[in-house]
């Protein structure tokens, strides 16, 4: 360890610390802001206490948005965590391994493409008249199912969620592939000698041995689902009506279209509390995980 | 009496059993491959469709959605490039380049301070970094918007670069620190005896020895900044300063009817980071894996 000047380590950390102020100050500022009624153009803030929150908890759009976030979370856990694990387990099976680098790379491709590109591309596929999705449905004789996916308030949120799944399953699968590669091959060899079939091996070796990654994946997906913004913003803008609104898009609209900054801050606080709760569960579980070991 | 009988039939039984098993395995593998190929089509076809259709005229996209272009309209790319994409692209290059450089430099300095010195408040700094991983930008949006206006950088590239660096630092510091901790102490002691200052040791020993992690963190930062959307649409108002993700929205509104050109714009936007991924897959995946296990 270097000794000498006591100030030296602080000098090294100073630039990082200065930048981190940009992450931390807004968190506290936001809570403070949520106690006022204010807009960007008027200079005075009016202290209203917890009025914004009282209002928020009576706001049907808020509940609609929260419901959509929960829907997002449930569907994402099933498809991304469940689907990702299955895809990874299949790709890591020794019977498939020859081609798995190829499949792996392609499945991961959407992850590196920005959501703006993907969402604009999917507006073509969802297009009611000429979109590929309806064309495919007509080809296979399911004309009756064809509909304006993004323009129908019953399907809009599902169409939005589907795009997220399309992009992200490959990401979680990649995380699971890394985790599965760390499992000792002897476990599988022993099970094979005992005559276990692939399903047994999956449930008795792969699933328990990747438990930690499942936990990480669930946390990542949950956080993603409760902070999602790009997909609904670009695909539907929260509409039709408020049918595909999520907390982040509602926050954005309240702040930058309606210019109700205090109210928008209270939505941000709700997002903060949800993400902090998820992080707390994560920290607690990691702690107990370490005590076990 | 039974013994010889079993002796005769046994090999046969085993034989049919393994055959059966092999046959079963064969059908199993076939089903799995069919599944993998269907999933492959679901992922690859939309991306291929984007590239193929970007060479078509709007009419052709409508009427012959599934076929190859009648004539390959390379001018779609020229039009896209000229009608805005070039400036968005340049802005993205500037913002991404500056964010990567600053993030890695500031994080390497911080990681060095954290891994090679004992000082008061070290645990606190580590907690602040870990905590920074958990905070999502949505929560900070409104105050950050005010801060950026007060700093006088609203509607400049700095309005994106500073927040991007701030949000990338926690993870980058932790990843670089873990790597620095694995560098043997003997090296720096030898350098110190030769009269190297601590800054000299960082730049002559630590940084050259840490290329893999510096590459990984640079790629992760590039991936984040190239694709970031929310800050990009809010903190920049002037179309000539927009980065690609925000610019594409403008581009779509301007080009409502010209699908081929829009798709060419989308393809140009996605290309650099896809290339980066294909060529540096190893670093990319290592980064993604490290980054997830916070």
pLDDT at B7: 45
Please, are residues A79 and A164 in contact by the beta-carbon 8 Å criterion? Answer: no
Confirm whether B93 is domain-assigned: yes
Cα A95 to chain centroid, rounded: 32
Task: Say if the Cβ atoms of A13 and B113 lie within 8 Å.
Answer: yes
What CATH code is carried by the domain that includes residue B277? 1.10.3720.10
Task: List the domain range (segments joined by +) for residue B263.
Answer: 79-292
pLDDT at position B58 over 50: yes
Q: Which residues of chain A have pLDDT under 50?
A: 1-2, 291-293
pLDDT at B14: 56
Confirm whether B3 is domain-assigned: no
Specify the number of domains making up chain B: 1
**Cβ count near A172 (within 10 Å):** 29
> Can you give the pTM of this predicted structure?
0.89
- Percent of chain B scored above 90 by pLDDT? 53
Residues 82-121 of B with CB under 8 A from A: 106-107, 109-110, 112-114, 116-119
pLDDT at B293: 47
Q: Is B144 on the interface with A (CB under 8 A)?
A: yes
Confirm whether B15 is domain-assigned: no
Domains of chain A from N-terminus onward:
45-288 (1.10.3720.10)
- How close, in Å, is residue A153 to chain B by CA atoms? 23
Question: Among all residues of chain B, which has the CA nearest to that of A20?
Answer: B166
Chain A hits for B134, CB-CB cut-off 8 Å, are 275-276, 279
pLDDT tens per residue, range B129-138: 888 888 889 9
Work out the angle between the directed axes of helices B211-227 and B281-292 (0-180°, nearest 10). 80
Rounded to the nearest integer, the mean pLDDT of chain B is: 87
C-alpha gyration radius of chain A: 24
pLDDT at B3: 44
pLDDT classification of B70: cutoffs 50, 70, 90 = confident
Confirm whether B29 is domain-assigned: no
pLDDT classification of B6: cutoffs 50, 70, 90 = very low
Name the residue among A59, A16, A40 with its Cα closest to residue B143.
A40
Task: Say if the Cβ atoms of B118 and A117 lie within 8 Å.
Answer: no
Residue A2, both tokens = 């270097």
């Amino acid at each position: 360890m270097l000794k000498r000047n006591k100030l030296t380590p602080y000098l090294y950390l100073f630039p990082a610390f200065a930048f981190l102020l940009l992450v931390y100050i807004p968190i506290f500022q936001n809570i403070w802001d949520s106690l006022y009624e204010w807009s960007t153009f008027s200079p005075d803030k009016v202290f209203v206490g917890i009025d914004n929150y009282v209002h928020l908890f009576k706001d049907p759009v808020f509940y609609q948005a929260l419901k959509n976030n929960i829907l997002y979370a449930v569907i994402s856990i099933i498809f991304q965590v469940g689907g990702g694990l299955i895809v990874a387990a299949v790709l890591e099976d020794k019977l498939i391994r020859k081609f798995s680098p190829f499949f792996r790379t392609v499945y991961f491709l959407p992850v590196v493409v920005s959501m703006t590109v993907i969402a604009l591309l999917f507006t073509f596929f969802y297009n009611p008249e000429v979109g590929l999705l309806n064309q495919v449905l007509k080809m296979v004789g399911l004309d009756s199912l064809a509909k304006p996916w993004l323009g129908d308030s019953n399907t809009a949120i599902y169409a939005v969620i589907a795009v997220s799944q399309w992009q992200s399953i490959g990401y979680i699968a990649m995380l699971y592939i890394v985790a599965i590669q760390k499992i000792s091959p002897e476990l599988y060899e022993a099970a094979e000698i005992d005559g276990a079939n692939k399903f047994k091996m999956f449930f008795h070796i792969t699933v328990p041995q990747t438990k930690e990654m499942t936990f990480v994946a669930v946390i990542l997906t949950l956080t993603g689902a409760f902070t999602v913004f790009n997909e609904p913003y670009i695909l539907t803008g929260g509409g039709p009506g408020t049918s595909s609104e999520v907390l982040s898009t509602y926050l954005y609209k309240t702040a930058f279209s309606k210019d109700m900054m205090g109210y928008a801050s209270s939505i941000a606080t709700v997002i903060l509390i949800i993400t902090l709760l998820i992080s707390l569960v994560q920290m607690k579980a990691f702690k107990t995980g370490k005590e076990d070991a | 009496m039974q013994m010889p009988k079993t002796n005769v039939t046994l090999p046969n039984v085993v034989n049919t059993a393994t055959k059966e098993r092999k046959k079963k395995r064969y059908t199993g593998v076939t089903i799995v491959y069919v599944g993998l190929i269907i999933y492959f089509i679901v992922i690859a076809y939309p991306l291929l469709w984007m590239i193929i259709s970007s060479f078509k005229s709007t009419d052709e996209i409508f009427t012959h959605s599934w076929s190859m272009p009648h004539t390959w309209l390379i001018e779609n790319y020229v039009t896209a490039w000229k009608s805005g994409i070039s400036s968005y692209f340049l802005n993205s290059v500037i913002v991404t380049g500056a964010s990567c450089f600053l993030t890695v430099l500031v994080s390497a300095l911080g990681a060095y301070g954290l891994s090679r010195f004992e000082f008061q408040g070290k645990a606190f700094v580590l907690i602040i970094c870990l905590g920074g991983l958990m905070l999502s930008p949505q929560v900070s949006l409104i105050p950050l918007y005010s801060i950026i206006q007060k700093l006088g950088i609203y509607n400049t590239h700095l309005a994106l670069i500073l927040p991007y660096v701030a949000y990338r630092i926690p993870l980058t510091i932790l990843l670089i620190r873990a790597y620095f901790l694995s560098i043997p102490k003997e090296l720096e002691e030898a350098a110190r005896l030769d009269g190297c200052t601590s800054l000299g040791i960082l730049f002559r020993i630590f940084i050259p020895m840490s290329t893999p992690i510096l590459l990984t963190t640079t790629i992760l930062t590039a991936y984040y900044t190239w694709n970031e959307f929310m800050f990009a649409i809010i903190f920049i108002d002037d179309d000539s300063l927009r980065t690609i993700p925000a610019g594409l929205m403008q581009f779509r509104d301007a080009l409502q009817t010209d699908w081929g050109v829009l798709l060419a714009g989308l393809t140009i936007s996605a290309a650099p980071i896809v290339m980066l991924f294909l060529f540096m897959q190893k670093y990319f995946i290592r980064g993604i894996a490290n980054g997830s296990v916070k």
